Each structure stands twice: as structure tokens, then as C-alpha cells.
Amino acid sequence: MSHSTALLTDHYELTMLQAALASGAAHRHSVFEVFTRRLPAGRRYGVLAGTGRFLEGLADFRFGEEELDFLASTRVVNDETLEYLRDFKFRGNIYGYAEGEVFFPHSPVLQVEGTFAEACILETYLLSILNFDSAVASAASRMSTAAGTRPCLEMGSRRANEQAAVAAARAAVIAGFTGTSNLEAGRRYGLHTIGTSAHSFTLLHDSEEEAFRAQLASLGKDTTLLVDTYDVEKAVRLAVELAGTELGGVRLDSGDLITQATWVRELLDSLGNTSTKITVTSDLDEYAIASLAAAPVDSYGVGTKLVTGSGAPTSSMVYKVVSREDAHGVMRPVAKASSGKASLGGRKHAVRRIDAKGRATAEVIGVDATAPADSNDRNLIVDLVRDGEVQPGFTGAEGVRNAAVRHARSIAELPRNASRLSDGEPVIPTEFTEN
């Protein structure tokens, strides 16, 4: 089976291509930008994720015989368009924010420059990646910030499409999570993987003691035992009896987690297990994590709410042409004027304005926006693809590591109220310079 990513797109991308080829405009130089008009209600910032995955898939955005045969047999496009697609390879340039960077309304997080034909047909594939991955990363950032120094662990694979699960794990680690339960994400991106057992393992055995003994014998005393299948207190006492003070941890997956974690900690300490850690799971989100701040919890396992964006499953990013070559070969800014969906023409630059204390104060966007040499301001646009060649440092395991560092640094320079979970406006304003 073909590994091409080229048909992970919408029908109308190719019919637009066909019509543009017929009109002669398909080869006009064009610039498209990805941005969101607004953040999800109440959110104070977004986190860009998925750029590396898009760049990885760009190499496979080719139309082989399988793809061409499908398009021909279903008459999606005509023969002229099929011939164009047969030799398709993106040869343009791509710029944008570094993955892991925070963004705000109208931030030009990605820019695609090339012919209309080659830029146009990337739209659906590009947006499907950035919208999902950025939604997960934005939720993960809120969760990891709420957790403070306590690690958050991604456990959402069973609540997502199998490939989305890999993407979600990757996005979560970029935004501050320290590990994932997803093995394919671990293999593909060098992520730390975690996991011990579920309730079914305990229920499989004739007694909880038999289950605990089996897990300890196989995985060692530093494993984490799930203690709420039956009676939590009895399970904790049993775990300590079997493993002693070397018991690595216990996991709580139900009930009133604040109350339960408190008395389980007291019980463990009274039994001499002061180093045994407590992990909590059970449908956590950023609000539940924040509510557990005063509880004696050592780590959080997060699943459903993470992979669904914690109430914001998409980033609402759009892909709009902002500049194109006219019939005389002159580049012209173009923009939509539709009510509620107006866009800004011209390829933009973006600058994060930083004050003397190292805090961000504004997102400055415009054709002529630039960071003054004598300021702390930071230019946000970096080169991702030059003449069709992906630049180093943005893909694979290295790309994830670099994105995680970029996220941590971006969060650190935001005003302190960025960590508030109450509804509010974006933590810094977006300002536009004169074109």
C-alpha cells in the first residue's frame, strides 16, 4: 500500500487546481498564511504544534500510480491535471513560528510560498494537522502549568483515532508532559513511555494479593500498583506488606481524589513508606489538576480531556492567500472582505515585544514588523523549508525536543496571569503595524 499523504485532502483542492491550470493562473507566485481569528472562548494563549509532523509528511505528498489511478477512475480531475500531479513535488518555501511557540489571534503561525498550484493543494493536509495538534498542545500547556513541578503523563490513546493518539502524545510532550503510554509515539519520536497495569489485571487473578505478587515479581518493587479495584485501604496495606518500603507507587483512579490522596499519603507514611509515590488518574483536566494542588499527589495521568483539547478540540486555524502575482508578474496583497471573516493582505512578519524585565507585552504583526536591534523584542518567523528542502531541527525526535524547549521558554516570558484558568482575554494584545 502507498504511504503517500497526497490524498489526505479535500476534493475541492484538486478541482481548484484543475480550473487554475485551465485559466493559466496556477503557476502564479503566491503566499498563503495560517492563522486563527480568535482563541477558544476564555483561553489566554494557544500553543503551536504539528509543524514537525507536517514537514515529515510533506516528503510523501506525492501522487503515485495508486493515487493517480483513483483520481482517474473516479474522474475527480481531468487528464491535464493528472499529468501535473504525476510530477508534483513541493519546491517552494515555508516559514513560520517555531513549533512549541505560543500564539494569539492573527499570529501568522505558518506561511507557504510557491506557485498557487503547489501551495493550494497543501491546505487540507496542513490544517488537519495543525488544528488538532495545536488544540492538544494548548490544553496540555494549561494542564502542565496547573501541575507546577509535578509531572503530567499522557494516557489518552484509547480515546482517539489510532494515528491521532500518536499525534496527541507528541503534542502533549511538546507542551510540558513528561511521558506517554503510547508505544508508537515513543518509537517514532523518542518519547519516554510509561504504564503498569489496569483493573482487568487485578480482576484476572483469583485475589488482589495474587495480582500484586505477580506484578511485583515481574516488574519489580519499584512498580506502581493500582489500589482501587476493591478496597483502597486494604489494597495499600497489602501493597506495603508485599513490597515493603521499596514500593515505587500506588495509583488512584476513582472517588474523591483530594480526600483519598490525603489519607492514602498519611497511611503510607504511617507504614514507613514515605518514598512511595501517589499517581492519580480518573478523567482529569486542568481544573481538576489545579484543585489537587494542595493534595499530596506526585503525578497526574491525563487521557480523555487532553486528546479532545479539554473542551476546545480544534484551534480554528484557517489558510488564506495573502499575496499573489498578477497578470503582469507583480506581487499584490490580497484579502477577504467577508463579514466576520476578513483577512489582512500581504506576507506578514511577527514580533514578540518584550519589556526590560523579560516579559512579553504584545504580539506585533505587519508587513514591515521587525524587532529593533536595541530591544529585547523577538522575531518569531523562522525558515522551515527552503526551495523544497526541509531545514534541520524541526522533525523527528530532535524536532520534539527543540519544540519542548521553545514552549518552556515562551511560557516563561508570558505575564504571570497567563496561568490563570478563569476566562479572560488573550494575555497579551495583538497589534498591527501599518502596511
**Does residue 201 register a pLDDT over 60?**
yes
Residue 2 lies in a domain: no
**55 alpha carbon, distance to own chain's centre:** 14
Same domain, 232 and 325: no
Residue 86 lies in a domain: yes
Residue 407 lies in a domain: yes
pLDDT of residue 246: 97
pLDDT of residue 365: 96
Cα separation of 401 and 409, whole Å? 13
| Domain interval for residue 44 | 11-136+312-432
Over residues 216-233, the pLDDT tens digits come to 999 999 999 999 999 999
**Does residue 426 register a pLDDT over 90?**
yes
Cα separation of 220 and 194, whole Å? 15
Same domain, 121 and 22: yes
Domains: count for the chain: 2
Residue position matching grid coordinates 509543524? 51
How open is the CA angle 193-195-196, to the nearest 5 degrees?
150
Same domain, 360 and 428: yes
Q: How many Cα neighbours within 13 Å face the side chain of 61?
A: 22
Helix (H/G/I), strand (E/B), else coil: 354 = strand
Integer-rounded Cα radius of gyration of the chain: 25
Over residues 285-341, the pLDDT tens digits come to 999 999 999 999 999 999 999 999 999 999 999 999 999 999 999 999 998 777 776
Domain end position, chosen among 255, 285, 311: 311
Same domain, 127 and 165: no
pLDDT of residue 134: 98
pLDDT of residue 344: 80
Residue 222 lies in a domain: yes
Over residues 351-364, the pLDDT tens digits come to 999 999 999 999 99
pLDDT of residue 196: 95
Amino acid at 430: T
Strands 152-154 and 179-180: parallel
Same domain, 18 and 130: yes
**Does residue 34 register a pLDDT over 60?**
yes
Same domain, 127 and 167: no
Name 210's Cβ contacts closer than 8 Å, sequence gap at least 6.
none
Cα separation of 137 and 96, whole Å? 17
DSSP for 81-109, written as a single string: HHHHHHT----SEEEEEPTT-EE-TT---
Cα separation of 26 and 40, whole Å? 35
Residue 6 lies in a domain: no
Is 194:178 a contact under the CB 8 Å cutoff? no
| Closest by CA position to 349, among listed 32, 95, 30 | 95
**Does residue 1 register a pLDDT over 70?**
no
% of the chain surpassing 70 pLDDT? 99
Cα separation of 82 and 153, whole Å? 46
Cα separation of 303 and 317, whole Å? 24
Same domain, 256 and 360: no
Residue position matching grid coordinates 503561525? 109
Same domain, 187 and 267: yes
Same domain, 126 and 254: no
Average pLDDT, rounded, for the chain: 96
Question: What secondary structure letter does DSSP report for 187?
Answer: H
Can you give the CATH number for the domain in which 387 is found?
A: 3.20.140.10
C-alpha cell at 68: 493517480
Same domain, 377 and 318: yes
Residue 39 lies in a domain: yes
pLDDT of residue 435: 54
Can you give the CATH number for the domain in which 216 is found?
A: 3.20.20.70
Same domain, 295 and 402: no
Same domain, 175 and 284: yes
Q: What is the average per-residue pLDDT within 134-162?
A: 97
Over residues 362-395, the pLDDT tens digits come to 999 999 889 999 899 999 999 999 999 999 999 9
Cα separation of 312 and 286, whole Å? 13
Query: Given its phi and psi angles, is residue 250 left (phi above 0), alpha (psi -120 to 50 degrees) or beta?
Result: beta
Domain end position, chosen among 311, 345, 361: 311
pLDDT of residue 304: 97
How would residue 197 be classed by pLDDT, with cut points 50, 70 and 90?
A: very high
Name 2's Cβ contacts closer than 8 Å, sequence gap at least 6.
64, 66, 67
Residue 143 lies in a domain: no
Cα separation of 424 and 418, whole Å? 9
Identify the H or E element spanning 239: helix 232-243
% of the chain surpassing 90 pLDDT? 93
Residue 24 lies in a domain: yes
Domain end position, chosen among 280, 311, 342: 311
